[in-house]
Amino acid sequence: MEQPITPLEARAALDSVERSRLRVIDEIDLPNWYWWGLALGWIVLGFISDLDHPWLTAAATILFGAAHATVAPRVIDGRHGSRNLSVRRDVAGGRLTRMIILALVGLVVLTIAAALAVNADGAGHPATIAAVFVAAIIVLGGPQLPATIRRRAAAQS
């Protein structure tokens, strides 16, 4: 016959479960190489655009888009931030994917606006300058998206 669990033992068990849940939530992330690869691709596209060969720019954009479309479904959901653990879909949720897609659209708009502003100022290589500016935002700001999702997930009970 089992002995009844004391309130202290029950609290300790619940605390252990909560600590484990928070450790899993801490694994919601994107690999660091994703941000660096995205930033580097952004700069390469800006550079190619400044070469003023529309067919080459179009081909590079399609190639970059295809490469991102191949990699992104595996990593932008935040479930595979490290090799240690794969977070379940219901824990990671779909917010991170939506946030990254919206951020990418915003970064495209920002790149275009920055390139137009730099071009209007008369600077040479406006697309490259704009791409470097946006690439810095990607590398510095990109990791903040999963951090936001982790904070929200940890706050939910």
pTM above 0.95, yes or no: no
Share of the chain above pLDDT 70, in %: 85
Residue pLDDT, tens place only, 74-110: 887 766 555 665 666 666 667 788 888 999 999 999 9
| 104: nearest Cα among 142, 133, 56, 59 | 142
Which two three-digit tokens encode residue 105? 């659209």
Mean pLDDT across the stretch 105-132?
A: 95
Asked if residues 76 and 97 have their Cβ atoms less than 8 Å apart, the reply is yes
Give me the pLDDT at residue 138, please.
96
Give me the pLDDT at residue 59, please.
96
Mean pLDDT across the stretch 53-81?
A: 88
Which two three-digit tokens encode residue 3? 């002995």
Mean pLDDT across the stretch 56-79?
A: 89
